[in-house]
Structure 1
Amino acid sequence: MVDAFDWGLLEPAGADAAVVADDRILHAMIELERAHLVAWGGLLGVETTSTLDADLLDREALLRESRQAGVPVVGLAQALRQQGGTLVHQGMTSQDVLDTALMVVSRDALVGARTRLGEAGRRFAALVREHRPTPFAVRTLMQEAETTTLGAVLSGWLDAITSALEVLDAVEFPLQLGGAVGDGEAFARLSGDPDAVAKLRRRIAAAVGLTDPGRAWHTDRSPVLAVTRAAASVCTAGGRIGRDLGLLARDEVVTPLHGGGSSAMPHKKNPVDAVLLVANGLRVSGPLAVVQTASLSYDARPAGEWHAEWQAWRECLRLGAESAALLAHAAEDLVVHIRRAHVDPAKPPRATATVDAALARFERAVEGGDR
């Protein structure tokens, strides 16, 4: 029995990131191997079975092989060949499998994050409309500055969400398929078809729901950077809103309906969503920096850079998925307490243009993504 190293004890919002768990990555690797087996068999004119079952794997053995080879795919391919025959994994390399699996998981995580961001944005948009005329004294450099409207303040949150949505919508999730050194020659040699890798890439990409990039990107890590930066943009939006939520909760302007408790002060209702959103916004810079640094690749596969990327890539996705879920929950859990602000009767705050622009921009982003 494999003991779980990380079951969420120090990750309070971890349940919202199950989409990037080890089991999901394992299933994504098998999904790729299955799609490759079917496509490869079709290209060779050989009958194959698409039945590759994760439940039949010996996970203890898989971990041992992973430690031995330094990558989990070697042992996985050996085990799957016992189920599906010698054509399993033929022509591919470990990087094809792991990069593609992480792209599948990235797609699922970020599509889910986009849905939750949309939910949060719709709730904030309703509050923006409701509090469009509500006077509110804002601060700059921690000091009270001028009176605007609460709707204008909330429209800033909506803008942050819209920015994250736009980044997410620009991301593509490409298949990785290039063979040992990225040139795809093994597929051509084994099949006798000089266009084998292009044909396989199209078929496999369609099967696993990724885009066909028309190339291998083994040492061009721009697709990974795009995905992780998109996840980080969700964390940034969440952290920015979380800071405001925490400060407004301190002033009892906006508070959570269901706050968190304290082990020493039972009277407290802590703004837990706000705290965790800020924490994730602070944490994401670390793994993002690892991905950025590791992108300075070399040779056909670098010694260490690619390996450093795996957990950092997954951590960015994990934090992005958590932050999107936290935002959606925080938006639904808000209670606004109207407080009087000093207003010059001759100059009532309006901020109409700011509010209208934020609402229109959000609606365009949501509608564009929904289509």
Structure 2
Amino acid sequence: MPSDPLPRIDFGLLSPVSVGHDALLSDGFVLSTMIRVECALVAAYVEVGAAPRGARVEIDHVFGIDEKGGASARGIDVDALVRDAVAGGNPVIPLVGALKAQVPAEHRAWIHRGATSQDILDTALMVVARRAVEQTRRSVANAAVWARQLATAHADEVSAARTLTQHAVPTTIGARAATWARGLERAVVRLDALVFPAQLAGAGGTLASFVEITGSTDAADALPAAFARALELDAPDAPWHVARWPVTEIGDALVQAIDALGKMAADVATLSRSEIGEVSEGVGGGSSAMPQKQNPAEAVLIRSAALRAPHLGATLHLASALAVDERPDGAWHSEWPTLRELLRLAVGASAHGSSLLAHLRVDAAVAAATVGLTGGRIVSERLRGVLVPLIGAERFAALLDGDDDLAPRLRALPEAAGLDVDALLDPARYLGLAPRLARGTGHAGGGTAQSRGVDA
């Protein structure tokens, strides 16, 4: 009797940050990618002259590689595949049998020939990761553009800079948005630098099976690059079965991108509090019980991803550090769901980040009013430099006591008779480089020591 269908565990009910953005990370997409990878191995054999061209044509046709949309999992009993994966510890083992059953006998031997399960699964995850990173990169880049537009539009509008939650000195709304933009732009640089190598190394990373099959060390040496070309991946310079830098570098870049999004979202969540109200999200945000509320829903979703992502990145590093022997006993297996979940968070958080910044509403009047809540004390750093030489540190400290308006106190000081009190207390006159930074003007001489020609 057939087994009962397996339950569908995750539709996104408990991960709303990724809903609608993560179709290319589904089990179905991963499965179709694994099939495509198996077909790419046949194509690589044809390219190096080891397999007949007819084998590739027939196998590609069986699995829909020659059709729009690529590989198809039609004819595969997915529930049976998932159940059978338990016995061998990975889904490639039962998949190979299922694929061979659909291929004509004369070409069947070329399915999975010489490869090991890790070759197929690592390569499939690189294909999936490349697609997801491209999607993430587009969204992060768009978010950076929106942040830059906010920065320019509000470059001169005064706001309170906060340190350790308290008012510190005046800044501008635009300077804060420019900080978001710089973090997002740097994340794009990291994502652009990633490589996605194919994996084809055989059972123990020696490619011995491929030398045997092709009859040539040169042909076997050329096979991984041909395999990579068939999948539009980077050609590996050596096996990476237990040198897991491709996975950890992807993880690190994703975490950095989600960090940058999380920083922005945390600021938005804080600034949209009812008692602050300097910004508000332009879409969504209803409450099931309190109709008056306009929750910062996208910021909340992004923050949920930012809180989870670093731990997933750390798991990838732990797995890499424990990648023992020539194939790890569990460390490799722990990477699969971890990397996918990190990719899932990245595509979702970046999409929400772009949307949030595109629709963010700024209330410059509220921000300006907030600056005045401390009665002029937000420019205390400036006042200290002017007044301490005149009245001493002890009297200056006493001057700042309380929360009333400082202007009458300053005017009552005989030593301040010659000072323009209004100008001295004007936060717009103590912005430093904030407006310039908001407009994207970096520091003179900025850059790495190497780019400036500084000797180590």
Residue type at the aligned position of 2:332: W
Structure 2 match to 1:128:
151
Look up the SS of the partner of 1:195 in the other structure: helix
2:80 to 38, 61, 71: 61
Alignment of 1:90-109 (within 5 A): 90-109=113-132
Look up the SS of the partner of 2:338 in the other structure: helix
2:102 to 79, 83, 88: 83
Look up the SS of the partner of 1:265 in the other structure: coil
Which has the higher mean CA deviation after the structures are superposed, 259-268 or 134-143?
Answer: 259-268
| Structure 1 consecutive aligned stretches of length 4 or more whose deviation exceeds 4 Å | none
Residue type at the aligned position of 1:352: P
Residue type at the aligned position of 1:73: V
Deviation at 1:358, TM superposition (A): 6.4
Alignment of 1:146-295 (within 5 A): 146-250=169-273, 251-295=276-320
Q: Distance in 2 between matches of 1:196 and 1:93?
A: 18
Question: Per-residue displacement from partner, 1:81-123 (whole Å, max 9, x unpaired)?
Answer: 1223121000100000111111111101111111011111111
Is residue 142 of structure 1 aligned with residue 147 of structure 2? no
Look up the SS of the partner of 1:44 in the other structure: coil
Which has the higher mean CA deviation after the structures are superposed, 37-46 or 129-138?
Answer: 37-46
Kept after mapping to 2: 8 A contact 1:291/1:309: yes
**TM-score when scaled to structure 2?**
0.76
Is residue 355 of structure 1 aligned with residue 438 of structure 2? yes
Let me know the Cα RMSD of the aligned residues: 1.9
1:44 to 43, 50, 69: 50
Q: Distance in 1 between matches of 2:111 and 2:303?
A: 45
Q: Distance in 1 between matches of 2:220 and 2:130?
A: 23
Look up the SS of the partner of 1:264 in the other structure: coil
Give identity over the alignment, percent. 35
Residue type at the aligned position of 1:17: D
Kept after mapping to 2: 8 A contact 1:181/1:301: yes
Q: Distance in 1 between matches of 2:37 and 2:209?
A: 18
Residue type at the aligned position of 2:90: V
Is residue 25 of structure 1 aligned with residue 30 of structure 2? yes
Kept after mapping to 1: 8 A contact 2:41/2:227: yes
Residue type at the aligned position of 1:12: P
Q: Distance in 2 between matches of 1:18 and 1:101?
A: 15
Residue type at the aligned position of 1:78: G
Residue type at the aligned position of 1:283: R
**TM-score when scaled to structure 1?**
0.93
1:71 to 84, 90, 93: 90
Deviation at 1:17, TM superposition (A): 1.9
Q: Distance in 2 between matches of 1:176 and 1:35?
A: 12
- Pick closer, same or farther for the CA change 1:121–1:149 going to 2, 3 Å: same
Q: Distance in 2 between matches of 1:173 and 1:230?
A: 13
Question: Per-residue displacement from partner, 1:117-165 (whole Å, max 9, x unpaired)?
Answer: 1111111111111111111111111001111111111101001101211
Deviation at 1:351, TM superposition (A): 1.6
Q: Distance in 2 between matches of 1:83 and 1:37?
A: 15
- Pick closer, same or farther for the CA change 1:359–1:206 going to 2, 3 Å: farther
Look up the SS of the partner of 2:317 in the other structure: helix
Q: Distance in 1 between matches of 2:109 and 2:97?
A: 9
Deviation at 1:197, TM superposition (A): 2.9
Name the count of aligned residue pairs: 361
Residue type at the aligned position of 2:299: A
Structure 1 gap segments, 5+ residues each: 361-371
Structure 1 match to 2:8:
4
Look up the SS of the partner of 1:263 in the other structure: coil
Residue type at the aligned position of 1:344: D
Q: Bigger relative contact order, structure 1 or 2, given CA contacts below 8 A and separation 6+?
A: 1
> Which is greater in Rg?
2
Residue type at the aligned position of 1:37: V
Structure 2 gap segments, 5+ residues each: 64-71, 373-424, 444-456
Structure 1 match to 2:415:
none
Residue type at the aligned position of 2:438: V
